[in-house]
């Protein structure tokens, strides 16, 4: 049975949401126990495709990802999550103790790897550590700053900067836009042009908020 680990861990995980992508029913019992004691919320997906959908549509703080999943394997799920710009911590869970699996998992974007069977206290500690770090990162909520998707706003002075994700979106938008001179054709834009459009859009939004 789990023992209390103190109020600090509970505060660190309060209101956090953990997405569990695992088809093993026994994992639910273990994680329900951990979540109840440490105060975070669980969402479940029993296959890789469902896990990807939930991760892309829901604001989660941590992902527990099994390697052996029906349909889409865990390694592919991890690759697609990172390719989609989802940067929350991922802990891979597997019955395999093969060093190659561990190395591959970490190299493609996982933050941690734990092998089954494991001690419940060890899994709880790893989850708490990742959630603590995630909260610290999100809060670089230094005093006088607010962080929104795509934007960091200074409240003491009217300053802002685009986030890493927003920059990435602009960089990959060597994309295709409608051609204003001909509505039935398209034109490609480069990074400089897309960044200019991003800044212009953010400036307009910020002006509307402050007016």
Domains detected in the chain: 7-138 (3.40.50.2300), 145-210 (no CATH)
User: How high is the pLDDT of residue 2?
Assistant: 44
Task: State pTM to two decimals.
Answer: 0.63
Sign of CA dihedral 12, 14, 17, 21: positive
Across residues 29-47, what is the average pLDDT? Answer: 94
Q: 151 pairs with which residues across the strands?
A: 148, 162
User: How high is the pLDDT of residue 134?
Assistant: 81
Helix, strand or coil, per DSSP, at residue 140: coil
User: How high is the pLDDT of residue 11?
Assistant: 45
User: How high is the pLDDT of residue 136?
Assistant: 75
Q: How many other C-beta atoms are found inside a 10 Å radius of the C-beta of residue 35? A: 19
């Amino acid at each position: 049975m789990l023992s209390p680990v103190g109020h600090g861990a509970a505060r660190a995980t309060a209101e956090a949401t953990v997405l569990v992508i695992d088809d093993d029913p026994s994992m639910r019992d273990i994680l329900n126990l951990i979540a109840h004691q440490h105060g975070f919320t669980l969402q479940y997906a029993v296959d890789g495709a469902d896990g990807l959908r939930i991760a892309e549509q829901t604001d989660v703080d941590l992902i527990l990802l099994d390697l052996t999943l029906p349909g889409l394997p865990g390694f592919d799920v991890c690759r697609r999550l990172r390719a989609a710009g989802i940067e929350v911590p991922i802990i891979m869970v597997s019955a395999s103790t093969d060093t190659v699996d561990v190395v591959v998992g970490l190299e493609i974007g996982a933050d941690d790897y734990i092998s089954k069977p494991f001690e419940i206290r060890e899994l709880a500690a790893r989850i708490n550590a990742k959630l603590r770090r995630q909260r610290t990162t999100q809060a670089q909520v230094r005093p006088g700053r607010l962080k929104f998707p795509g934007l960091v706003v200074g409240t003491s002075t009217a300053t802002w900067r685009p986030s890493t994700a927003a920059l990435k979106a602009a960089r990959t938008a060597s994309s295709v836009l409608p051609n204003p001179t001909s509505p039935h054709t398209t034109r490609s834009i480069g990074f400089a042009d897309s960044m200019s459009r991003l800044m212009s859009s953010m400036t307009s939004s910020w002006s509307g908020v402050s007016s």
